Amino acid sequence: MTRVREFGVTVVGVLLAGSLAAIAANAAAANHTQPLYLDQGWNDTERNQFYFTPQGSYLIPYAWFLALEQAQNSKPFNDAKHIARIGYLVDDQAYTASNPDGLPIGFAKEPVSNGDAWLGYTCAACHTGEVRFRGKNIRVDGAPTLADFTLFNQRLIEALQATLNQPRKFERFAQQVLSTPDATSKAALRAQVAAQLDVMQQIYQRSTPTVPYGNGRVDAFGIIMNEVFARDLHQPLNVKVPTAQVSYPFLWGTPQLDFVQWNGSANNPFGRNVGEVLGTFGQATLTGPIAQLGTNTARARELFMLENLVAKLAPPQWPEALLGKIDSEKAARGRALYSAYRNGEPSCESCHSLRDASGQYPLTPAAENLFGVQFVETQMIGLADIGTDPLMALNFATRNAFTGDLAPLLPAPFTGASVLPAPVLLSITVGMAANYSIATAQPPFAAAEKAALIGYRIKAPGLPPYVPKNLAAYKARPISGIWATAPYLHNGSVPNLYQLLLPPAQRMTLFGVGSHDFDADAVGYVSEDEDATFLFDTGLPGNSNAGHDYGTDLTADQRWDLIEFLKTL
């Protein structure tokens, strides 16, 4: 039996003794309609790479996940119906070469250099959508998922606890996990499960919000900063309860934007992706010997490949054969409304730009970039102007954090600072991890690859670096494929496009989330569906559905015309 140390967590080596019974049970439970795929520029190989490529996330040992039972019964945790109830998508091609163990979409087998594989998250867990209409499931790659992140981790913790508490459950688990399930090995395995359970409970406690995220949302920045500032910097006072839940943004077009995140706080794609890894069970070393600072689990080569895949991802076109034909006359009237200024307020197009005659969105100047690269220009709308729930932007912009032992090593002008604004410290710490990943990547990145890896975000000589435009704001970007990205607003507080075009006081204050059933008229998920597993209450902190009142003075007919045009984007 081998012992491995992975970033301070001692792991008892376990061998996968594949359970044919569990596989058969899972396959039998997967009684779902296979999805129809839209043409978004990916072939099957690329799609599966996005779904199952490891990125450096270490959740639990891989063999454990396959052997683990649900807390309340003896069915596999990875049972397709169980996974679907939590909201993650079940792979319709499970048990094939790309996914031989039938993992949910967005989970990967993470190899370990000296030991057994682990289970980890991938980008696809949060950015793969599906709509169901008249009995057909339509997959939308890069769209927001409807999964419940907190519930998945809660169920995983409960299952591990039940495995420790129930002798028969533990015996079944040990028989599948251990190559030699003798008393000594079982005792070591029990200690290992208890240790990992403690780690997961600590992460869960740091990540659990005051207001439930529910389906399709998470406080990504809150979780990332808790893990980096508290765990990796060894500063427990830096923990702050996540309170600013946001919807998962859609990915198509993201690599071409000048700034990303709901608050427009990032432009370097590699740094952004490393930060995401550290918030989803990746780890970084930010204390101790200088030579080890920045060591982290993020997989630079794989993240580079995934970002290149996203760069190829096309927005989903409204599938008329499946969702109904677009009324061209109504859409034409809606097009005029989209570009019209009314009552002194900006048009939809002034914030959410459209392609010009050559098919291009407004771009940043080529002359300002070292490589002559241009980016799609986004607009930052101040909190007072947009009027939507301000909590996410304010939490990020006003948070401070203790720097701990890193203080004397901080770059100028911050050297020696014991406290820094959270955006500054996040940039420094994630930058350390990103630089280490680039420097140690195998095979090494060539100079041209390094430029592409950071998205060519270097200003021309003599110009100041790229910096966020306004952190007390929310980003407006082109909204191609907007039909497939409900619920709407940054916090998911509006269920469909029709509701978004109503005056805020008339919008629904309570609605269900979690059902994939699609409303092709109002454009969004059916909020009264029995499959909706989470009740969204807009009266709770961070959940306000106010603001974005542009175009809310339209007549009923004009509102439907505009929605018809939005289907064409």
Residue range 416-455, pLDDT digits in tens:
999 999 999 999 999 999 999 999 999 999 999 999 999 9
Higher pLDDT: 155 or 13? It is 155
Residue 335: both structure tokens together: 């097009």
**What number of residues does the chain have?**
569
Long-range contacts at 338-344 (CB < 8 A, ≥ 24 apart): 338/562, 338/565, 338/566, 342/551, 342/553, 343/553
pLDDT of 21 higher than 70: no
What is the C-alpha separation between 569 and 515, in angstroms, rounded? 24
| pLDDT, tens digit (0-9, with 9 covering 90-100), for 449-504 | 999 999 999 999 999 999 999 999 999 999 999 999 999 999 999 999 999 999 99
Can you state the angle between helices 391-398 and 422-440, rounded to 10 degrees?
80
Cβ atoms of residues 206 and 199 within 8 Å: no
Average pLDDT over residues 140-166: 97
Side chain identity at residue 371, one-letter code: F
Cβ atoms of residues 494 and 537 within 8 Å: no
Identify the CA nearest to 17 among candidates 170, 173, 178, 172.
Answer: 178
Cβ atoms of residues 109 and 101 within 8 Å: yes
Q: Give the pLDDT confidence score for residue 159 in this predicted structure.
A: 98
What is the C-alpha separation between 134 and 326, in angstroms, rounded? 17
How would residue 209 be classed by pLDDT, with cut points 50, 70 and 90?
very high
Instruction: Tell me how many degrees the CA angle 418-421-424 measures, rounded to the nearest 5.
Output: 100
Enclosing H/E stretch for 381: strand 379-382
Average pLDDT over residues 384-396: 97
State the pairing for strand pair 419-421/518-519: unpaired
Enclosing H/E stretch for 117: none
- Range with lowest mean pLDDT among 5-19, 152-166, 215-229, 336-350: 5-19
pLDDT of 63 higher than 90: yes
What is the C-alpha separation between 536 and 543, in angstroms, rounded? 8
| pLDDT, tens digit (0-9, with 9 covering 90-100), for 498-540 | 999 999 999 999 999 999 999 999 999 999 877 788 999 999 9
DSSP state of 499: H
Cβ atoms of residues 47 and 314 within 8 Å: no
DSSP state of 127: S
> Domain residue spans in the chain?
1-125+149-212, 214-484
pLDDT of 70 higher than 50: yes
How would residue 91 be classed by pLDDT, with cut points 50, 70 and 90?
confident
pLDDT of 9 higher than 80: no
- At residue 397, the 3 state secondary structure works out as helix
Q: Strands of 36-37's sheet, edge to edge?
A: 36-37, 136-141, 128-133
- Mean pLDDT taken over the chain: 92
Q: Give the pLDDT confidence score for residue 113 in this predicted structure.
A: 83
What is the C-alpha separation between 70 and 163, in angstroms, rounded? 9
- Any idea which residue has 């630079």 for tokens? 300
Enclosing H/E stretch for 4: strand 3-6
The pTM is what? 0.91
Beta strands (DSSP E) in 114-249 are 118-121, 128-133, 136-141, 217-218, 246-247
CA distances in angstroms from 466 to 339, 365, 366, 455, 460, listed in the order given: 30, 13, 14, 12, 10
Question: Please, what is the end-to-end C-alpha distance for the chain in angstroms?
Answer: 57
Identify the CA nearest to 192 among candidates 1, 6, 9.
Answer: 9
State the pairing for strand pair 9-12/36-37: unpaired
Side chain identity at residue 460, one-letter code: A
Residue 3: both structure tokens together: 């012992």
- Any idea which residue has 């079940």 for tokens? 90
Q: Give the pLDDT confidence score for residue 345 in this predicted structure.
A: 83
Average pLDDT over residues 261-284: 96
What is the C-alpha separation between 222 and 199, in angstroms, rounded? 18
| pLDDT, tens digit (0-9, with 9 covering 90-100), for 303-358 | 999 999 999 999 999 999 999 999 999 999 999 999 999 887 889 999 999 999 99
Contacts of 315 (CB under 8 A, 6+ apart): 40, 252, 253, 480, 481, 569
Identify the CA nearest to 373 among candidates 475, 263, 269.
Answer: 269
- At residue 327, the 3 state secondary structure works out as coil
Identify the CA nearest to 348 among candidates 509, 500, 544, 144.
Answer: 500
Contacts of 225 (CB under 8 A, 6+ apart): 238, 240, 399, 401, 422, 426
Q: Give the pLDDT confidence score for residue 107 in this predicted structure.
A: 97
